[in-house]
């Protein structure tokens, strides 16, 4: 929009915009996850050295690096599947409580870890589908067992998610009967369905074309 100066106003005079004056100040959004100075080592092998990441609501962040550079380790530390040795991890502004130092450091509050994980989801690099369960059972397991949701609701949403990722016709087959790409899609559906309201979704290697 271009403001028109009133009659008699010199062309060089600044024209104030009433629109900009009415825009309220907005507070910055709280990051869904914030990592500060994160360190992780396996013995003498240092994998993460002072990593800082901030992810705001709706943001997509890609970790790019060579094999063995620590991408998977970072994701596992974010999910508290691996214990980091230094640094802070915050979910929606809430810091993870730690006890011990260095290699002896571990989460201090297991109840906090369990609560945080209900709002996280992850697609593992190897998919980690349960081989003794059908695809539908894989997708339904977490909301049934962990979240205690009604079976009918869980199954309806699971089937809808499998349709959405293009493998609705594979609901009753086992992982071994599917291609790698199909297993990946099943893992994505399971990750989406497995958390109450996933604030953070992590994929250890992105989904392939069409997945």
Q: DSSP class of residue 17? A: -
Rounded Cα–Cα distance for residues 127 and 147 (Å): 21
**pLDDT computed for residue 179 by the predictor:** 79
- pLDDT (tens digit, 9 = 90+) per residue, 2-20? 444 445 444 444 444 444 4
**pLDDT computed for residue 14 by the predictor:** 44
Counting as low any pLDDT under 50, the low residues of the chain are 1-6, 8-23, 196, 198-199, 207-211
**pLDDT computed for residue 76 by the predictor:** 87
**pLDDT computed for residue 183 by the predictor:** 87
Kindly provide the b/e burial profile for residues 36-50, where b requires at least 16 CB atoms within 10 angstroms of the residue's own CB.
eebbbbeeeeebbee
Q: Residue 154 burial (CB < 10 Å; 0-12/13-18/19+)?
A: buried
**pLDDT computed for residue 56 by the predictor:** 93
Residues of the chain with CATH 3.40.50.300: 33-117
**pLDDT computed for residue 15 by the predictor:** 42
Q: Does domain 33-117 have CATH number 3.40.50.20?
A: no
- Which of 45, 49, 51, 201 is closest to 120 using CA atoms? 201
Residue listed under structure tokens 């104030």? 16
61: Cβ contacts below 8 Å, ≥ 6 apart:
53, 55
Rounded Cα–Cα distance for residues 209 and 207 (Å): 7
**pLDDT computed for residue 5 by the predictor:** 45
Cα 123 to Cα 52, 85, 146: the distances in Å are: 22, 24, 18
**pLDDT computed for residue 204 by the predictor:** 54
């Amino acid at each position: 929009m271009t403001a028109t100066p009133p009659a008699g106003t010199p062309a060089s005079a600044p024209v104030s915009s009433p629109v900009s004056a009415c825009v309220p100040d907005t507070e910055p959004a709280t990051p869904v996850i914030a990592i500060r100075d994160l360190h992780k080592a396996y013995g003498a092998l240092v994998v993460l050295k002072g990593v800082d990441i901030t992810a705001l609501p709706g943001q997509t962040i890609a970790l790019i690096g060579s094999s063995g550079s620590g991408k998977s380790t970072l994701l596992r530390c974010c999910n508290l599947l691996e214990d980091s040795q230094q640094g802070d991890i915050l979910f929606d502004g809430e810091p993870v409580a730690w006890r011990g130092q260095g290699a002896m450091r571990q989460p201090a509050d297991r109840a906090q870890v369990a609560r945080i994980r209900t709002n996280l989801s992850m697609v593992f690099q190897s998919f980690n589908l349960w081989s003794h369960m059908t695809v539908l059972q894989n997708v339904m397991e977490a909301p049934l067992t962990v979240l205690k949701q009604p079976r009918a609701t869980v199954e309806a949403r699971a089937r809808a998610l499998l349709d959405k990722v293009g493998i609705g016709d594979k609901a009753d087959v086992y992982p071994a009967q599917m291609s790698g790409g199909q297993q990946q899609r099943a893992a994505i559906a399971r990750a989406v369905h497995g958390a109450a309201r996933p604030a953070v979704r992590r994929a250890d290697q992105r989904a392939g074309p069409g997945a």
